[in-house]
Amino acid sequence: MGASLPVLFRRPAILWSALAVAVAAAVVTVLLVVPGADDGPADGHGDYLDASLPIDERVADLVDRMTIEEKIGQMTQVAVPAIEANPAHVREYGIGSLLNGGSEALHETPEAWAAMIDGYQAEALDTRLGIPLMYGIDAVHGNTAIPSAVVFPHNIGLGAAHDPELAGRAAEVTAAETRAAGIHWTFAPCVCVARDNRWGRTYESYGEDPGIAFEYAGPVVEGYQGDDLTANTSVLATAKHYVGDGGTAYTSSTTDDYLIDQGVTTLTEDELRTLHLAPFRAAVDAGVGSVMASFSSTDLGDGPLKVHADEYLLTDVLKGELGFDGFVVSDWQGVDQISDDHAEAVRAAINAGIDMVMVPFEYQRFTSTLLSEVESGGVSEDRIDDAVSRILTQKFALGLFEQPYADTSGAAEVGSDAHREVAREAAAASQTLLRNDGDLLPLTGQESIYVAGSGADSIGRQAGGWTASWQGSIDPPTHGTTILAGIEEVAPDAAVTFSEDASAPVDGADVGIVVVAEDPYAEGVGDAGAGEHDMTVSEADAAAVDTVCGAIDCVVIVVSGRPIDIEPHLDGVDALVAAWLPGSEGAGVADPLFGAVPYDGRLPVSWPRQLEDEPLNVGDPDYDPLFAYGFGLQTA
């Protein structure tokens, strides 16, 4: 399918820089206070306030009224921890956007989130022109910053389900549970194409073939954005990470610094277009409102170039060839990676086509630097006007000028049974049956069942990274149903014994279920070789498999964000299931296990025999996986 996609552009190679989470020390030089910021809110006059006019006319009118300082403020996105001690800086600097930086969830309820955001919104509206701010968050598989929100399978599981329409419905639920908290914008979907499973971000990809991401991008963007962005069930979507982040090369240095998330994608231009650009065309065609630039670099043979500084990719290809009319946002401190010289980095990024800069801390330095660049001619005011016009277009489309404050009328639906049912359906559809000797599955539900393994009773492991916090955690505050609880719910007549380490006697059980799992992680930290995440079965889980599967008929369920090195542990295993990262609804894992729905998942990535076989992708010479791309046994 990927080979049949259109060739889209010219230029390859990409380097991903891991999100650096904290940079507290702000090197502040000039306090850039927006002229007129203390003059009070807009006086109710101006065509831009006339909701009956076309958006482009409102944008043009507003831009004409803005000072250069106000324009630069709109191009600035700041992390809440950087500004919470000085909320008036939203007004004083005319800041256009705030974000939740992937830290622990700040508030327990949608209403509390909305109240916090509305407080900052009041500061934004108390300016000369009253331009509302836009708040963004990484709601990549549910709005996991709210403990009661539904958590969906990560993209790799949705890819295994081979059902773009279902993924679109998951995005609809996520959008509703995000906008109900007063949040306008999600940094999703990730439409990367993962070409090396050692990449810690593999689980955010729909698979290794561009055809999967190409098929999913449109329905998921439409799910987030809906038919009407002003609705309290819609959020602005972000196609990320543009472009080629999933193709970065895996290398290791003498200091054991493994570079894949912060690597370089080296391909021919045709390969880059075919493998990595195609999904972005689908997202643009679906009307995606924003695109996030990749940390990575491309190397087409003339040396690596950061995407954040690549005018060809950002302006000529994305905005020109593909016709993208939304705005490009940088990734977390991504502009700073262009050069150690801050002025040079800012100049290169803005001229390349970055419209909004996720600073996220040193906003005083950024705004004063960009102002100096405009005054010196390093960045033209036409480029600034283009960036600001793109940003304001989306703010008008979101209806923020008419409804700047949160509409929490949908808060009661956050975590509702109806929403959880969609997540359970998605989890069940993603289950991929890789072995079923003797047709052991589905079980009848009448058995005596022995359950073991680190993933059996762990919301944190089954939800993975980007759940309540950036890297996820073993014990997040997330509400949900573990796989063990799902088994007990779906098979209430079964006699279930649980022993995580399989230390309890196995005698008397009819069948064993061992749920092996990766601990949660996100990019960088999750790269194989970068730490504890080495894509192997833990010693404790391996011992549980040996104990249980050596004694009775046995099912092994793998909870992971990518294929892991499972072949050494398959002796005595009768059935093998890839559950991926199923999210908060563990009953979805149990549904096909007991025949409530059939197994119908198919591998969205090739499963290697050993880690050393990576990178391994369908179509490679001498392709010899343990389980091939697209493989999956079905049950009735």
Domains of the chain by residue range: 2-18+34-411, 431-613
pLDDT of residue 32: 45
User: Which CATH architecture describes the domain 2-18+34-411?
Assistant: Alpha-Beta Barrel (3.20)
Q: For residue 170, give the H/E element and its range.
A: helix 164-179
Considering the candidates 92, 331, 519, 585, report the single residue annotated as catalytic: 331
Peptide linkage before 360 cis (omega within 30 of 0): yes
pLDDT of residue 102: 75
Please give the C-alpha separations between residue 633 and each of 1, 566, 576, 600, in angstroms, as whole numbers. 21, 18, 10, 7
pLDDT mean over 472-478: 95
Whether 355 is catalytic is no
Decide: pTM greater than 0.85.
yes
- Report whether CATH 3.40.50.2300 matches the domain 431-613: no
Q: For residue 90, give the H/E element and its range.
A: helix 89-92
Whether the Cβ atoms of residue 331 and residue 358 lie closer than 8 Å to each other? yes
Residue 330 amino acid letter: S
pLDDT mean over 142-153: 97
pLDDT mean over 553-576: 98
Per-residue pLDDT band at 257 (split at 50, 70, 90): low
pLDDT of residue 2: 36
Q: pLDDT tens, 367-413?
A: 999 999 999 999 999 999 999 999 999 999 999 999 999 999 999 99
Q: Are strands 448-452 and 511-517 parallel, antiparallel or unpaired?
A: parallel
Per-residue pLDDT band at 258 (split at 50, 70, 90): low
* Average pLDDT score, the chain: 92
As a whole number of angstroms, the distance between CA 91 and CA 48 comes to 19
Q: Count the neighbouring beta carbons within 10 Å of the beta carbon of residue 466.
A: 30
Structural tokens at position 160: 């295994």
Whether 523 is catalytic is yes
pLDDT of residue 105: 61
pLDDT of residue 260: 85
As a whole number of angstroms, the distance between CA 41 and CA 97 comes to 18
Whether the Cβ atoms of residue 599 and residue 632 lie closer than 8 Å to each other? yes
Whether the Cβ atoms of residue 633 and residue 576 lie closer than 8 Å to each other? no
User: Quick one: how many helices (H) and strands (E) in the chain?
Assistant: 19, 19
Q: Would the pLDDT of 259 be above 90?
A: no
pLDDT of residue 18: 32
Considering the candidates 523, 541, 553, 614, report the single residue annotated as catalytic: 523
Q: Would the pLDDT of 576 be above 50?
A: yes
How far is residue 630 CA from its own chain's centroid?
Answer: 23
Q: pLDDT tens, 182-219?
A: 999 999 999 999 999 999 999 999 999 999 999 999 99
Q: Would the pLDDT of 544 be above 90?
A: yes
As a whole number of angstroms, the distance between CA 347 and CA 242 comes to 20
Q: Give which of 483, 487, 505, 503 is closest to 495, Cα–Cα.
A: 487
pLDDT mean over 28-48: 52
pLDDT mean over 144-163: 98
As a whole number of angstroms, the distance between CA 448 and CA 553 comes to 11
pLDDT mean over 458-469: 97
Least confident interval from 243-257, 330-344, 505-519:
243-257
Alpha helices in 180-314 (DSSP H): 210-225, 269-272, 278-285, 311
The neighbouring-strand residues paired with 515 are 557
pLDDT mean over 469-481: 96
| Residues whose CB falls within 8 Å of the CB of residue 615, separated by 6 or more in sequence, listed in order | 195, 196, 197, 198, 250
Q: pLDDT tens, 78-135?
A: 999 999 999 999 999 999 999 988 765 678 999 999 999 999 999 999 999 999 999 9
Q: pLDDT tens, 157-173?
A: 999 999 999 999 999 99
Q: Give which of 210, 330, 345, 326 is closest to 278, Cα–Cα.
A: 210
pLDDT of residue 398: 98
Residue 213 amino acid letter: A
